[in-house]
Amino acid sequence: MKNSVLKRFQQRDGAMLPFIAVVIVILFVTAAFAIDVARVHVTRSELRTATDAAAKAGVEALGREQSTAAATAAALAVAEQNIVAGKGMLLEPDNIIFGTSGQSPDGSFFFNEGGSPLNSVRVIGEKTKGSRAGSASLFFAPLFGVADFEPIQVATATRIDRDIALVLDVSGSMASNGRFKALSNALDVFLAELDETPQRENLSLTVYSTTERKVQELTPDLNQIREAFANEGPGGFTGIGQGLETGLDSILNDPNARPFALKSIIVMTDGRQNRGISPELVAPRARDAGVVVHTITFGRGANEELMAEVADIAGGIHLHAKNNPELIEAFQTIAKQLQVLLIE
């Protein structure tokens, strides 16, 4: 009896062996597939990082050196510093394309190869059999007849030169609670942020209280903005709209205004409109002229609703700062909005 039972168990064990073998093969294939799929995703991500970095480096060099040869060299060098599928990413000079980018009315950006002035670099990152970098190998797929894969990524960075009109509140309320000093500090931080950007910004400075004054024409020398504001002090009422009008005139008619630069106005106030034209009546003129207006309100006395409306009309952003550190942060945020853009 015992021998009979043992024999039946041995027969069942023998019948299970082919099934176990099939399951093992399936598990191996699944694991191999998962590993190669993960490698595909990682390689594509690495390639995206490399092409993005190369495009940014190229456009930075283009603006700094005003040379396509220098921009090409920078893009190639930075690409090679980025590892893709275990190797530094190699590009050909033909993978670096120069062109002109701009902003469409709907806010999207476009790229045209060639054109004038050159302000954009497109990088085509190829990991293909015919490329300098070669294709990306797979671990297990060759067992099933697939040796490699050939990803391609495209990145375009644009160097947007900007003309910027600063329109700052120097009314009497700025004398309280250290507000004027806070504005001076925030202005320093804002200018320091712009100093770090690869593109060139020209800035003008308008101050307003009961009346408005343009105290500095558009200039690439940001120290001139610092020095001009250092001579100001708080006093008077709050004519925001008048300041915005003068800032708009500076952007459009200043002798140093550049026809191909994007144009922005930054209006800061800690109070409420109580003299002259109201700013929401000026904002449509800025919008129609293609000028973006960003607004910053500061403290509890500021009319946040009105200034948010002004920014909304003219396609900008509105930020409210409750205290001195938040004022610095608001200016930093807007400065970062003005930096190099990846548009593709």
Structure tokens at 61: 């060099």
pLDDT at res. 255: 93
The ranges assigned to domains in the chain are: 2-158, 162-342
pLDDT in tens for each of the 344 residues of the chain? 555 555 555 555 555 666 565 666 566 555 555 666 777 788 888 889 999 999 988 987 887 677 899 999 999 999 999 998 888 999 999 999 999 887 676 667 788 999 877 889 999 999 888 889 887 766 555 555 566 788 899 999 887 778 999 999 999 999 999 999 999 999 999 999 888 776 678 999 999 999 999 999 999 999 999 999 999 999 999 999 999 999 999 999 999 988 767 899 999 999 999 999 999 999 999 999 989 999 999 999 899 999 999 999 998 989 999 999 999 999 988 887 765 555 66
d(CA 310, CA 21): 72
Of the candidates 31, 151, 140, the residue with the CA atom closest to the CA atom of residue 84: 151
Question: In angstroms, rounded to a whole number, what is the distance separating the alpha carbons of residues 214 and 221?
Answer: 16
pLDDT at 305: 95
CATH 3.40.50.410 assigned to domain 162-342? The reply is yes
> How far apart are the C-alpha atoms of 100 and 116, rounded to whole Å?
6
pTM: 0.60
Write out the two tokens for 146: 């697939």
Q: In the numeric block, which tokens belong to residue 195?
A: 């100093």
> What pLDDT does 106 receive?
67
